[in-house]
């Protein structure tokens, strides 16, 4: 059971964790189901489309999964941070550069938070961003193609958890480090944590036309753990809010040592002031190195190493950062649709604090400051708090909002969603979840106009909800109707990987913009073969380039001889099809690699080193026609120096 260690490390009281598990195990599934009426409300008839796309992180699968709502049907897994043999992502020569980092090729990550691009505080359906938590990275996925187009590494950070949340006009994607590390990174004793370790908040600028990301500036923060973030909107536009725990600055046994203080902090960052300070030359250049990877117009990935980042110290830029005292070990921070209210989920807190943006602005004007930490004024709790949700449940984590002034907070420990009214913090309703809910989402729940039809619980543990599958059980999402006064559970559905966080958008916003083929005439891959008569094999020393075409239902060439053991053979396969949903695959016996999956109009390259003499078949892996089984060829491998002439068949 994967979630158990998380329980133990995130809760101060082992007794509490035991109580929760007992509760979770005691609930028979039969008591928790929807009714027949509920089932009809999620039924999407064969041939019909879902109303929403939901994009859910795959957690430690490193990928992003696409589901339809309300049906919960899985539509696609988009490879992002992990190699994917099905799609040859991270295996084909064209996609390998996407996984380059300053540590070299890192073919896995832990993805947590998808964040849709926004225009005027509404989801605009252009891109979705997602974080790599382990080796700090942020990826951008194009929603017209549902493919990863760019990955930028974040220097001076570790555990990129508070990421990647998008400002209301996609001016920036924000990111912050969960684990403080020596800043700049260097060899120091761990016991010197308080002197040498620091946090980092990063602002990644997004080109409004192309989406291209650039690391604009970073803010060097005290060595706390920065956990989650939400940018402001409306009146609070220009600000971003970051939770932090471990204000104790513990470096060992954090479950106890980082749970001492009654309050930790939200860091409120005014990024417009930060921009001014950068423009005034108040930032320093730090000698860092990080990878920036992107896919060009011809669908070929590139990786470049960037040097140096622009870092601001809070003490050099007054007015840029304030701390809001926040009970206790806060996790999520969320901004309501009006942009006025900011709520936090303190894992160990007994209340949900709701801060007022206008109160914060007044507290800053009135200098309602308690003390300073690292040049950052700490505003008094009383001056910034708007109201507290009393007795909400146990282990509040995350909040999303509907379009009627209500908030929905996930309760990890008591496994429930609590609905409360934003303006006065009154609890209105609660519903159990099965089990141990982490994030939750309302479609558009972080925009100024949420679609308050559903809330979806994203759960860590399924226990008895599905047929058992050995030691590891599926993780799950639950669809809950929020149109009435009482929340109603409609559907459980298992997910691919941990559905850590998800966002959803009306299908109509992106459905009709989906790309169906890549135009062959626009294929700029240097190894493309645009017509079958140009198919050929060329040898340069030990390197052999096979310029191969694929069209229903044959490869050209499909007989190749004169290859020798130890050659470096590159199969450059171009799919000549120009029809929707006709990919071809390419696989060869014994390749230390995946197949290729080549979309219509695209070129993909498989690198292969033959190891022993013989004749090996290759074939199409993606069922493409009635004669798909005939889509096959042979390659003859001779001993090193055998002198068999290079030959191949052609259609000339
Ligand atoms: Cu085929």
Q: CA-CA distance, 223 to 264, in Å (whole number)?
A: 12
Dist. CA 600 → ligand 1 center (Å): 11
Dist. CA 629 → ligand 1 center (Å): 8
Dist. CA 587 → ligand 1 center (Å): 11
Dist. CA 413 → ligand 1 center (Å): 50
Q: CA-CA distance, 52 to 127, in Å (whole number)?
A: 16
pTM (two decimals): 0.94
Dist. CA 619 → ligand 1 center (Å): 8
CB within 8 A of 576, min separation 6: which ones? 520, 530, 531, 532, 549, 550, 551, 601
Dist. CA 86 → ligand 1 center (Å): 15
Per-residue pLDDT, 218: 98
Dist. CA 625 → ligand 1 center (Å): 7
Indicate if the pLDDT at residue 224 is higher than 60.
yes
Q: CA-CA distance, 457 to 495, in Å (whole number)?
A: 12
> DSSP string covering 231-259, please?
E--GGGTTEEEEEEE-TT---S-HHHHTS
The residues that bridge with 52 in the sheet, in sequence order, are: 69, 506
Dist. CA 85 → ligand 1 center (Å): 17
Dist. CA 342 → ligand 1 center (Å): 53
Provide Rg for the chain, Cα atoms. 27
Dist. CA 615 → ligand 1 center (Å): 21
Mapped onto helix, strand or coil, the DSSP state of residue 365 is: helix
Q: Encode pLDDT of 324-369 as tens digits.
A: 999 989 999 999 999 999 999 988 889 999 999 999 999 999 999 9
Dist. CA 521 → ligand 1 center (Å): 21
Dist. CA 597 → ligand 1 center (Å): 10
% of the chain at pLDDT higher than 70: 94
* Mean pLDDT (whole number) for 520-545: 97
CB within 8 A of 543, min separation 6: which ones? 567, 568, 570
Dist. CA 529 → ligand 1 center (Å): 17
Dist. CA 14 → ligand 1 center (Å): 56
Q: CA-CA distance, 458 to 439, in Å (whole number)?
A: 6
Q: Are 617 and 633 in contact (CB under 8 A)?
A: yes
Dist. CA 646 → ligand 1 center (Å): 26
Indicate if the pLDDT at residue 319 is higher than 70.
yes
Dist. CA 584 → ligand 1 center (Å): 4
Q: Encode pLDDT of 458-506 as tens digits.
A: 999 998 999 999 999 999 999 999 999 999 999 999 999 899 999 999 9
CA distances from 220 to 204, 307, 311, 601 (A): 15, 18, 7, 46
Per-residue pLDDT, 37: 81
Which residue is listed with tokens 């260097």? Answer: 186
Indicate if the pLDDT at residue 387 is higher than 80.
yes
Dist. CA 624 → ligand 1 center (Å): 4
Dist. CA 577 → ligand 1 center (Å): 10
Within 10 Å of residue 450's Cβ, how many Cβ atoms? 22
Q: CA-CA distance, 400 to 415, in Å (whole number)?
A: 16
Dist. CA 384 → ligand 1 center (Å): 63
Q: Encode pLDDT of 509-518 as tens digits.
A: 999 999 999 9
Q: CA-CA distance, 130 to 112, in Å (whole number)?
A: 7
Indicate if the pLDDT at residue 7 is higher than 60.
no
Higher-pLDDT residue of 596 and 27 is 596
Mean pLDDT over the full length of the chain: 93
Per-residue pLDDT, 33: 56
DSSP secondary structure letter of residue 525: -
Dist. CA 300 → ligand 1 center (Å): 22
Per-residue pLDDT, 347: 85
Dist. CA 564 → ligand 1 center (Å): 27
CA distances from 479 to 33, 69, 206, 397, 492 (A): 11, 9, 33, 18, 6
Dist. CA 573 → ligand 1 center (Å): 12
Dist. CA 606 → ligand 1 center (Å): 16
Dihedral of the alpha carbons of 449, 451, 452, 453, in degrees to the nearest 10: 170
Dist. CA 612 → ligand 1 center (Å): 27
**Is residue 149 very low, low, confident or very high in pLDDT (cuts 50, 70, 90)?**
very high
Per-residue pLDDT, 36: 66
Dihedral of the alpha carbons of 195, 196, 197, 203, in degrees to the nearest 10: 110
Sign of CA dihedral 640, 641, 642, 648: positive
Closest CA to 446 of 200, 178, 174, 205: 174
Dist. CA 628 → ligand 1 center (Å): 5
Task: Kindly provide the residue ranges of all beta strands, DSSP E only, lying in 253-329, ordered along the sequence.
Answer: 263-270, 284-295, 301-312, 321-327
Task: Kindly provide the residue ranges of all beta strands, DSSP E only, lying in 482-542, ordered along the sequence.
Answer: 488-495, 502-506, 536-540
Q: Encode pLDDT of 247-282 as tens digits.
A: 999 999 998 998 899 999 999 999 999 999 999 999
Sign of CA dihedral 566, 524, 80, 137: positive
Closest CA to 138 of 116, 160, 157, 156: 160
Q: Encode pLDDT of 411-442 as tens digits.
A: 999 999 999 999 999 999 999 999 999 999 99
CA distances from 97 to 46, 89, 157, 205, 355 (A): 40, 10, 21, 22, 43
């Amino acid at each position: 059971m994967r979630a158990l260690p998380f329980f133990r490390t995130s809760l101060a009281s082992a007794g509490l964790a035991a109580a929760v598990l007992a509760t979770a195990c005691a609930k028979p599934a039969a008591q928790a189901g929807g009714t027949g009426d509920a089932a009809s409300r999620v039924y999407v008839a064969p041939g019909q489309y879902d109303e929403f796309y939901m994009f859910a992180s795959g957690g430690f699968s490193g990928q992003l999964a696409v589901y339809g709502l309300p049906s919960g049907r899985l539509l696609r897994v988009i490879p992002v941070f992990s190699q994917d043999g099905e799609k040859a992502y991270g295996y084909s020569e064209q996609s390998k550069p996407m996984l380059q980092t300053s540590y070299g090729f890192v073919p896995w990550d832990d993805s947590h938070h998808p964040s849709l691009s926004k225009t005027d505080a509404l989801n605009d359906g252009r891109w979705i961003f997602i974080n790599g938590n382990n080796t700090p990275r942020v990826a951008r996925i194009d929603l017209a193609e549902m493919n990863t187009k760019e990955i930028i590494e974040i220097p001076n950070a570790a555990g990129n958890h508070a990421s990647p949340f998008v400002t209301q006009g996609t001016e920036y994607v924000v990111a912050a480090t969960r684990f403080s590390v020596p800043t700049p990174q260097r060899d120091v004793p761990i016991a010197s944590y308080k002197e040498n370790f620091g946090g980092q908040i990063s602002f990644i600028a997004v080109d409004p036309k192309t989406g291209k990301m650039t690391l604009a500036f970073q803010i060097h923060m005290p060595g706390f753990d920065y956990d989650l973030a939400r940018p402001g909107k409306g009146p609070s536009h220009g600000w971003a809010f970051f939770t932090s725990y471990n204000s104790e600055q513990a470096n060992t046994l954090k479950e106890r040592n980082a749970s001492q203080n009654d309050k930790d902090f939200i860091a409120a960052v005014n990024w417009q002031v930060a921009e001014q300070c950068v423009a005034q030359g108040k930032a320093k250049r730090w000698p860092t190195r990080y990878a920036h990877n992107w896919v060009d117009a011809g669908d070929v990935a590139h990786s470049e190493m960037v040097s140096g980042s622009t870092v601001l110290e809070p003490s050099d830029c007054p007015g840029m950062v304030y701390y809001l005292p926040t009970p206790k070990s806060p996790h999520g921070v969320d901004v309501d649709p009006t942009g006025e209210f900011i709520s936090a989920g303190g894992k160990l807190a007994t209340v949900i604090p709701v801060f007022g943006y206008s109160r914060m602005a007044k507290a800053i004007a009135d200098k309602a400051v308690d003390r300073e930490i690292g040049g950052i004024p700490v505003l008094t709790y009383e001056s910034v708090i708007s109201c507290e949700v009393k007795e909400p449940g146990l282990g509040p984590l995350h909040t999303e909002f509907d379009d009627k002034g209500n908030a929905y907070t996930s309760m990890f420990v008591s496994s429930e969603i609590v609905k409360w009214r934003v303006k006065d913090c009154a609890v209105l309703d609660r519903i159990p979840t099965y089990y141990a809910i982490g994030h939750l989402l309302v479609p558009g729940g972080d925009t100024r106009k949420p679609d308050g039809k559903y809330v979806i619980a994203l759960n860590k543990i399924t226990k008895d909800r599905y047929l058992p599958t050995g030691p590891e059980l599926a993780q799950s999402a639950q669809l809950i109707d929020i149109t009435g006064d009482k929340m109603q559970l409609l559907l459980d559905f298992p997910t691919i990987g941990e559905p850590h966080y998800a966002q959803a958008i009306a299908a109509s916003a992106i459905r009709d913009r989906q790309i169906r083929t890549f135009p062959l005439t626009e294929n700029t891959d240097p190894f493309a073969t645009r017509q079958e008569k140009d198919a050929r094999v060329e040898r340069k020393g030990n390197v052999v380039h096979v310029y191969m075409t694929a069209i229903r239902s044959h490869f050209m060439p499909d007989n190749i001889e004169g290859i020798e053991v130890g050659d470096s053979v590159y199969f450059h396969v171009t799919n000549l099809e120009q029809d929707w949903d006709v990919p071809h695959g390419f696989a060869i016996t014994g390749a230390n690699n995946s197949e290729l999956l080549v979309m219509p109009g695209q070129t993909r390259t498989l690198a292969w080193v033959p190891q022993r003499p013989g004749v090996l078949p290759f074939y199409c892996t993606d069922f493409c026609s009635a004669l798909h089984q005939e889509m096959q060829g042979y390659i003859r491998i001779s001993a090193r120096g055998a002198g068999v002439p290079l030959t191949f068949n052609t259609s000339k």
